[in-house]
Amino acid sequence: MTGIVDWAAARARMVLAFVVLSILAGTLAYVGLPKEGEPDIEIPALFVSVPFPGISAEDSEKLLVKVMETELSDLDGLKKMTGTAAENYGGVALEFEFGWDKTKILADVRDAMDTAEAEFPDGAEKYTLREVNFSEFPIIIVNLSGPVPERTMARLAKDLQDTLEGMEPVLEAGIAGNRDEMVEVVIDPLRLEAYNVTALELINVVRNNNQLIAAGEVDNAQGTFSVKIPSSFEETRDIYRLPIKTNGDRVVRLGDLATINLTFEDRIGTARFNGETTVALQVVKRKGFNIIDTADLVRAEVARAAARWPDEVRAAVTVGTSNDQSRTVASMVSQLEGSVLTAIALVMIVILATLGIRPALLVGFAIPTSFLLCFALLAIMGVSISNIVMFGLILAVGMLVDGAIVVVEYADKRIDEGVGPMHAYVSAAKRMYWPVVSSTATTLCAFLPMLFWPGMPGQFMGMLPVTLIFVLSASLLVALVYLPVLGGVTGRSERWFKERTAQIANGFWLWHLLLLPVAAGAVLLAGKAVPLLLADVSAAFAGMDSTEILGSVMPVLTKVFVLLLGVVILAAIAISGVAGFFLGLLAIGRRFGNMGRALLRRVLPDRRPRVKAGYRRSPFGRVIHLITGNPVSPLLAFCAIFVLVGSVLIYYVNNNNGTEFFVESEPEQAIVYVRGRGNLSIDQKDDLVKQVEEVVLAHPGVQTAFAFAGDGGLNNNTGGAQPPRDTIGQVQLETIPWDERPVKRETWFTIPLLGYEVGRAVKDEAFDGDTIIAELTTKLEKIPGIKIEILGKARGPASAKPLHLRLKSDDWDALIGFTETARGHFDETTGLHKIEDTLPLPGIDWQIDVDVEKAGRFGADVATVGAMVQLVTRGILLDTMRVESSDEEIEIRVRLPEKDRVLSTLDNLKVRTEDGLVPLSNFTTRTPVQKLAQIDRVDQTRFFDIKAAIVDGLSKTATDAQGHDITVPITANERIEELTTWLESGVMPANVTYEWTGDAEDQKESGAFLQKAFMGALGLMFIILLAQFNSVYNAVLVLLAVVLSTTGVLIGMLVMNQPFSIIMTGTGIVALAGIVVNNNIVLIDTYQEFSRYMPRIEAITRTTEARIRPVLLTTITTMAGLAPMMFGLSLDFVAGGYAFNSPTALWWKQLATAVVFGLGIATVLTLIFTPAMLAMRVWAGTYVLWAAQLMAKLSMGRSSRAARDWALTRAARRVHAPELVWPDESAPEIGYVEEPDTPPPDLEDLKRILESRDPSKPLRAAE
């Protein structure tokens, strides 16, 4: 396998071409890849909805939902089925396992629904089937507001919607805040009674006259002709002229009995933007398009559309945008790009300080090249760049340079030994080939199980392992193929430059002085001449007559060829001039150095160069030898580490900061839910919401606010959370963007002893999203008559509230009773707030009971009564028609005048019977009943939910295993445990079951998976380590170091005062496992190499001395790359400046903290624990062998061969290692004197040395 290194070195030019192509392909891929704020997750969920106007929740459950559940319950891969039976519709949400076959499942669902639809009662509309997709949330909202008529505003919004939806990147632009048009037929009950016309007769007449009738064809000798009867309504006048009743020549038309208006449907909600009535367009982009570019196109198109409006419309209507997600994404990409560049810079600084300029440039080159190769692979897969991908790159910065550092460091050591650059880099790559491959493979094994992370968190974090696998695979190619070739080529170039510089510096000084102006003059001359020649080329082509081949084309081409040849010659002169100028500058320093050394030789003529001979142990080597050089020290070191790890674990258990599912970052958008109960009208709801809106807009930290009362709010991503059941309205607010907030100075830290305070600029906490939410909550709770709940916009896979209890039962009364009991216990539990439940809301509905027997006597039925009741409510839908002001068909509804739309009107309405007109009150009664607006079902069982949030900063006193009192924070997991204990205490009826869902369900699933992933990663690592070392002990030793490295993670959580995040910290531990293995592989591989030709204890010491530099380099580079993010520092390399604790940086602090602290502790373990354990094995084997030899000696006597071998070995161990030392004056005359800055001796020099010496004398050690 190492032959690929030789193959690449033999084809250096081809490899260099591949390097250039990799950079170009990666750059084009990065520019073209879509940029997203969060990963585009495809949710395996479908929602089936069946509208049924006028149906109650109980009837919807019985007639719609249960029928659908029966047919849909047998679908393959179905994970959960949630049914919703509500007024006017029934729906079923289907959740499948990830990895579903969407095409097949959609077909199966349609087949099942076609079967269920046949069992629906008359009046049910056609079902709708839609997918649930997080990518279909709005990326930007366009607002239209101003004092113009509603129809004008609706027309503008519709035209703008058509314009935006015509753009390729836009999937849809939904309108919110408007009303559809309708034709309202307002009948007068007195006129109907006067003309002896019933409402049903009137309805039938309208329906029978609004039809398009195809009468067929007439076929005769003259031809075939189609016959049609156009009888559909085209305008409202057609409805006026409809004949209802005739009496001789007199005709009673519909216009005589009713008032017909082209109006809007009844308002079900209100909408305002920043206090003004508004219509909003919610723009959703198509999958695969860049969110930043799409938002820019939308803003530009909106500006062009507004410019085409009449002047008076432009003056009255204000057009703006809000909730712009592209701004957040652009800020995120900018900050993460800055973090990546910061990590690269810090890594290069560390390498530069340790190895020098050229190795630092080579290692620094490995980082962007690996990134660009990763972008090319992501482009091939069609993956967009999200915050998860960007952080994967940051996490990979320290890991991908490990292989490059090991190869470059070893090659640098070989160069110092006198080996040529290309040979040094090729031999380094071959020597470190398998350690680098093994370390990269083990790192990939750490992330490989994460590809199978189940559920929503796995889909959200899924691109992290993919990105790391791509980057690390690319880094393997760079370290073992690209870098050896680049190192060899640059090394040869460096040697050439050094030789030319030495020639210039050793030459005549006058020629040196003349070189600089001559080279500069050549560059200036070429720089002025080349543009003139190119201008002549352009002029020659401009004057060429293409029709004259011999007279014009050939002479012009000849002239152009000569001019271009001159350009090439001048370019070569310019390049030579630049090279000569810089060589002359470098030679100045070399010349002064030569002069200084010559002066030193004259001042100190007797000074002789010192010769370094023999091995000298370093201070660190002495420490390691102290630990490993005797059989007791390894045991003491192991005991010390065991005590340290155990103490940290016990201290963390008693003093941790709790556990959370996902990172809680500062929200920049939030929703204020206005909760109220009772039968409130739209106007009453709007008045309450307006009070909340005024408080929100008065806050200085709020930039924009949408206020909605009733239905029809904006479609916003709240992490899958549903609003509380008693929500009457909401205010969706945006805080001032983080980049635009005021800045203040604060003390960062104080330098000890000096007392000097180091300051930093931070954003004002008064404009922090959490601070704004807390202040608004305090103010809004003072408004009487409502409850307030503010929910920050979700970022990540977490749901809205961490506590989500679901109670299920088929016994309705028992379920309601215990849910009320559980809700009361939630209210009494310390640390919970924002508690809500899905119990039926207090309120009344009017139930109209029809005495079927009495109605039958009068010749009436339930359908007749229902139609009459609709006249009082929303009206009877007659039919639809098209009008010029609407692109879609509008409804025609018959209803009573507004003053008659009250319950008492039902007593006066009459129906026609055989005995004449009879009032409805003769066979109907009205009864107030408990309001039941919605029934929820899961897996064909009714359920209620109770949700709650956790109050931050609370703690309680608990008892540990030894009975001591300890203080523990109140967290979601701790509250769930306490509530579970209460539920299991026997308070719950036997026919009621419970489950924790939401975050608790995802947390349990993710926690179990991460544990399995960690164990699976260790198993895969063990196989690779066993193949690498061929030693079970060494493989287990490496894995033990991985397990112990988690101690550093716990220390980091304590030092940084962070809770343990299941997602982020757990991912950090898995990532840490792959990083820790690398150092141990390099260490043990070198030990196995050294132990072949030196005593094993000495090999351990020599190994730690030889590999401490690459181990520390790989550790420090990884820690340096992630340290800025651990402290929340973001640098802006484009606009300049820095920022602390931005919303993007807060996301990754826990993961970065886990890796930085874990790797720091793991490095100490690698350099102390690993040598101690290796020595423990050596000493144990030694004493076992000693015991065996002692037994042999005692059993076979002192004269036996085993006894004599043992005595000889002991005697040899007492002999000190020989060392040849001679004074400087006795150094052999070898015939070759090395001058400063001369190249190493070649074969001719060695031949001359051997010929000059006395052949009769043997070679001495120095020779």
CA distances 792 to 666, 732, 735, 798, 876, Å, are: 8, 10, 11, 12, 42
Q: What distance in Å separates the CA atoms of residue 485 and residue 24, rounded to the nearest whole number?
A: 19
CA distances 630 to 333, 635, 1067, 1176, 1190, Å, are: 55, 10, 40, 9, 20
**In the chain, which stretches have pLDDT less than 50?**
717-720, 1220, 1222, 1224-1234, 1257-1263
Structure tokens belonging to residue 1065? 């910290």
Query: Tell me, what's the pLDDT at 825?
Result: 92
- Give me the numbers of helices (H) and strands (E) for the chain, helices first please: 39, 38
Instruction: Name, in order, each residue with C-beta under 8 angstroms of 247's C-beta and a sequence gap of 6 or more.
Output: none
Contact between residue 392 and residue 378 where contact means Cβ atoms under 8 Å apart:
no
Half-sphere exposure of 273 (CA within 13 A, CB side): 20
The three-class DSSP label of residue 1030 is coil
For the domain 666-794, what is the CATH code? 3.30.70.1430
CA distances 1043 to 438, 1015, 1016, 1066, 1076, Å, are: 19, 10, 13, 13, 10
Q: Classify residue 309 by its DSSP letter.
A: S
Q: How many residues does the chain have?
A: 1263
Query: Tell me, what's the pLDDT at 718?
Result: 47
Task: Please list the residues that pair with 747 across neighbouring strands.
Answer: 759
For 208, phi and psi rounded to 5 degrees? Answer: -75, -15
Query: Tell me, what's the pLDDT at 232?
Result: 61
Query: Tell me, what's the pLDDT at 227?
Result: 66
Q: What distance in Å separates the CA atoms of residue 618 and residue 622, rounded to the nearest whole number?
A: 6
Instruction: Name, in order, each residue with C-beta under 8 angstroms of 155's C-beta and a sequence gap of 6 or more.
Output: 885
Structure tokens belonging to residue 352? 């530069």
Structure tokens belonging to residue 243? 């004949």
Q: Which fold has domain 41-134?
A: Alpha-Beta Plaits (3.30.70)
Q: What distance in Å separates the CA atoms of residue 817 and residue 596, rounded to the nearest whole number?
A: 98
Query: Tell me, what's the pLDDT at 982?
Result: 92
Dihedral-angle region of residue 712 (phi above 0 means left; psi in -120 to 50 means alpha; beta otherwise): left
Query: Tell me, what's the pLDDT at 612?
Result: 57
Half-sphere exposure of 986 (CA within 13 A, CB side): 0
- At how many degrees (to 10) do helices 387-416 and 483-506 cross? 50
Structure tokens belonging to residue 1094? 């030196």
Domain limits of the chain? 3-32+328-498+1002-1175, 41-134, 507-603, 666-794, 800-842+949-997, 844-880+896-934, 1220-1263
The helix (H) or strand (E) run that includes residue 1059 is none
Structure tokens belonging to residue 664? 């809680």
CA distances 631 to 1178, 1180, 1182, Å, are: 9, 8, 10
- Residue whose entry in the numeric block shows the structure tokens 């001679």: 1222
Same fold, 3-32+328-498+1002-1175 and 844-880+896-934: no
Query: Tell me, what's the pLDDT at 413?
Result: 82
For the domain 3-32+328-498+1002-1175, what is the CATH code? 1.20.1640.10
Nearest Cα to Cα of residue 993 among 803, 804, 818: 818
Structure tokens belonging to residue 762? 């931070």
Instruction: Name, in order, each residue with C-beta under 8 angstroms of 898's C-beta and a sequence gap of 6 or more.
Output: none
Q: Classify residue 1239 by its DSSP letter.
A: P
Contact between residue 374 and residue 464 where contact means Cβ atoms under 8 Å apart:
no
pTM score: 0.72
Buried b (16+ CB within 10 A) or exposed e, 68-87: bbebbeebebbeebbbbbbb
Nearest Cα to Cα of residue 1186 among 1173, 1205, 1199: 1205
Tell me how crowded residue 849 is: count the other CB atoms within 10 A of its CB.
11
Query: Tell me, what's the pLDDT at 1233?
Result: 47
CATH 3.40.50.300 fits 844-880+896-934, yes or no: no
The helix (H) or strand (E) run that includes residue 567 is helix 554-603
Structure tokens belonging to residue 911? 């129906």
Structure tokens belonging to residue 1128? 């929340």
Buried b (16+ CB within 10 A) or exposed e, 422-439: bebbbbbbbbbbbbbbbb
For 835, phi and psi rounded to 5 degrees? Answer: -80, 135
Instruction: Name, in order, each residue with C-beta under 8 angstroms of 970's C-beta and a sequence gap of 6 or more.
Output: 658, 830, 831, 950, 951, 954, 955, 956
Using one digit for the tens of pLDDT, what is the confidence trace for 268-301? 888 888 888 888 888 988 877 888 888 999 999 9
Contact between residue 1062 and residue 1168 where contact means Cβ atoms under 8 Å apart:
no
- At how many degrees (to 10) do helices 421-431 and 387-416 cross? 120
